[in-house]
């Protein structure tokens, strides 16, 4: 069967299902949704999940995932801002012809890069530990390539 024929069948089924858009005749119409329905949760975990939900307790791996997301965003922003500043400093030093200023800017950049790569390495270690802890089916945190982030921050300035 051709793709367009399938598309037509699907569209017709959707039109039949949606009808005129009046959903007031459906069972439960106008009543609040039962969001606490945990029928898909294994029975042996329902009590634990309910206690955690009622007491606003977040599992450690979820809190760690949030922390890692914030840290990754911060690392990306830091290198972008510092790369922008470094590029401006290099251009000023080059325009002024001051080799001392240029050498100072490069030394400062190199110190920053070393410290930045160490922070990325700590992030990667934490991300790897997180990836080992999370339940099956949960998206893993990506491992960052510090050198690539640095290159991109400098290339985006040109």
Whole-structure pTM value: 0.67
Token code pair at residue 50: 């309910």
41 domain-assigned: no
Q: How far apart are CA 74 and CA 130, in angstroms?
A: 18
Asked whether residue 1 carries a pLDDT value surpassing 60, the answer given is: no
Domain that holds residue 123: 60-155
14 domain-assigned: no
78 domain-assigned: yes
Q: How many domains does the chain have?
A: 1
119 domain-assigned: yes
Q: What is the mean pLDDT of residues 26-52?
A: 78
86 domain-assigned: yes
52 domain-assigned: no
9 domain-assigned: no
**Helices of type H across the chain:** 3-18, 43-54, 60-96, 99-133, 146-155
Comparison of pLDDT for 7 and 80, the residue scoring more: 80
Q: How far apart are CA 116 and CA 109, in angstroms?
A: 10
Token code pair at residue 87: 């590029």
100 domain-assigned: yes
Predicted local confidence at residue 80, as pLDDT: 94
Asked whether residue 9 carries a pLDDT value surpassing 80, the answer given is: yes
Predicted local confidence at residue 45, as pLDDT: 82
Of 25-34, 49-58, 121-130, the range with the lowest mean pLDDT is: 25-34
- What's the distance, CA 56 to chain centroid? 23
pLDDT in tens, 136-150: 889 999 999 999 999
């Amino acid at each position: 069967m051709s793709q367009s024929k399938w598309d037509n069948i699907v569209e017709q089924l959707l039109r039949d299902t949606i009808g005129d858009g009046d959903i007031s005749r459906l069972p439960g119409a106008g009543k609040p949704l039962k969001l606490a329905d945990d029928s898909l949760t294994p029975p042996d975990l329902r009590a634990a999940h309910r206690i955690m939900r009622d007491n606003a307790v977040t599992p450690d791996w979820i809190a760690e995932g949030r922390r890692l997301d914030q840290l990754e965003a911060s690392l990306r922003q830091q290198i972008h801002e510092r790369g922008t500043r470094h590029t401006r400093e290099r251009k000023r030093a080059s325009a002024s012809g001051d080799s001392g200023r240029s050498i100072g800017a490069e030394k400062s950049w190199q110190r920053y890069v070393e410290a930045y790569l160490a922070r990325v390495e700590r992030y990667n270690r934490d991300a790897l530990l997180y990836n080992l802890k999370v339940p099956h089916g949960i998206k893993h945190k990506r491992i960052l390539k510090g050198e690539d982030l640095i290159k991109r921050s400098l290339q985006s300035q040109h």
